């Protein structure tokens, strides 16, 4: 059997500690609920904002195939040098899965180069996430749509670059739509943005949501090969005829 893909789940892990409603849904933190759906299939580690170097030391990142990122109220507390370190790893092939409110994380904005802004509303409304790319590996095992009885609304326009592949689109009870599953490549790395997962709804216990995240990990995992060489290409591979 091939070696398990190494996944690090990063979470701010502040709201769960300061807000009773959030804690009641995610008592051990959102990262642990996400990880519960992945353990046994992948090799899972956890990292949180208030750890040394936000838990994302060189050693941790070098030992990570796919990094999952959840944050919403403390994006500004993430140190820029850690963002640069994660960015460098993505360029060299580490996969990144950006969840929900991490659309405003420093790392996602740096990778996208746009504001990543959107519309939002907390009204406990129904979300129907439609699969619009049925042959894509990220939606393996998923039906026509995933329905979540209550979620926060995110609406267009979502200020992202045109996705390389658009896999899912959400419809909300209040009328808005949103590009919910977006795939990019940046350097040698793959980036998957997946929308659902507001902290006051039990979304990360939903089996289909867990399946999409697991599929996303497999899709985003690095390809085993050497990093490309850049720069002065001398000597040439083949002899070049003297043009003098």
Instruction: Report the residue number, 40 or 76, with the smaller CB distance to Zn ion.
Output: 76
What value, to the nearest 5°, has the Cα angle with vertex 155 and ends 127 and 169?
A: 55
- Output the CA–CA distances (angstroms, integers) from residue 42 to 65, 94, 144, 163, 210, in the order listed: 10, 15, 26, 27, 13
Q: Please report how close the Cβ of residue 72 comes to Zn ion at its closest, in angstroms.
A: 6
Q: Please report how close the Cβ of residue 100 comes to Zn ion at its closest, in angstroms.
A: 6
How many residues touch Zn ion under the rule CB under 5 A: the total is 3
Instruction: Report the residue number, 65 or 127, with the smaller CB distance to Zn ion.
Output: 127
Contact status: 15 vs Zn ion (CB under 5 A): no
Instruction: Report the residue number, 85 or 106, with the smaller CB distance to Zn ion.
Output: 106
Contact status: 127 vs Zn ion (CB under 5 A): no
* 231: CB partners within 8 A, 6+ apart: none
Q: What is the chain's Cα-based Rg?
A: 19
Instruction: Give backbone dihedrals phi and psi of 240, rounded to 5 degrees, phi first.
Output: -105, 130
Q: Please report how close the Cβ of residue 195 comes to Zn ion at its closest, in angstroms.
A: 10
Alpha carbon distance 171, 105 (integer Å): 24
Contact status: 198 vs Zn ion (CB under 5 A): yes
Q: Please report how close the Cβ of residue 120 comes to Zn ion at its closest, in angstroms.
A: 7
Closest CA to 98 of 216, 221, 223, 202: 216
Judged by CB under 5 A, the chain residues 89 through 108 that form the site for Zn ion are 101
Position closest to Zn ion via CB: 198
Candidate segments 169-177, 196-204, 224-232, 236-244, binder of Zn ion by CB under 5 A:
196-204
Alpha carbon distance 66, 190 (integer Å): 9
Judged by CB under 5 A, the chain residues 133 through 192 that form the site for Zn ion are 152
Q: Quick one: 113 exposed, middle or buried, by C-beta within 10 A (0-12, 13-18, 19+)?
A: exposed
Judged by CB under 5 A, the chain residues 38 through 97 that form the site for Zn ion are none
Instruction: Report the residue number, 65 or 151, with the smaller CB distance to Zn ion.
Output: 151
Q: Please report how close the Cβ of residue 94 comes to Zn ion at its closest, in angstroms.
A: 25
Question: Helix, strand or coil for residue 213?
Answer: helix
Enumerate binding residues for Zn ion (CB under 5 A): 101, 152, 198
């Amino acid at each position: 059997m091939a070696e398990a893909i190494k996944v690090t789940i990063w979470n701010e892990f502040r709201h769960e500690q300061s807000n009773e409603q959030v804690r009641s849904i995610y008592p051990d933190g959102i990262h642990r609920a996400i990880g519960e759906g992945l353990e046994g299939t992948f090799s899972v580690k956890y990292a949180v904002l208030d750890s040394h170097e936000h838990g994302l030391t060189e050693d941790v990142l070098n030992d990570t195939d796919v990094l999952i990122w959840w944050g919403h109220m403390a994006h500004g507390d993430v140190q820029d040098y850690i963002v640069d370190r994660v960015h460098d790893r993505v360029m060299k092939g580490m996969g990144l899965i950006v969840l929900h409110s991490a659309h405003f994380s420093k790392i996602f904005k740096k990778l996208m180069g746009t504001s990543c802004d959107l519309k939002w509303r907390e009204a406990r409304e129904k979300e129907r996430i439609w699969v619009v790319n049925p042959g894509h590996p990220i939606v393996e095992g998923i039906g026509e749509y995933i329905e979540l009885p209550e979620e926060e609304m995110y609406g267009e326009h979502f200020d992202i670059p045109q996705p390389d592949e658009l896999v899912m689109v959400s419809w909300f009870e209040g009328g808005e739509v949103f590009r919910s599953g977006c795939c990019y490549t940046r350097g040698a790395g793959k980036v998957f943005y997946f929308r659902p997962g507001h902290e006051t709804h039990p979304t990360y216990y939903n089996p289909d949501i867990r399946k999409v995240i697991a599929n996303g990990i497999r899709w985003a995992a690095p390809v085993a090969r050497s990093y490309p060489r850049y720069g002065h290409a001398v000597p040439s591979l083949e002899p070049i005829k003297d043009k003098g």
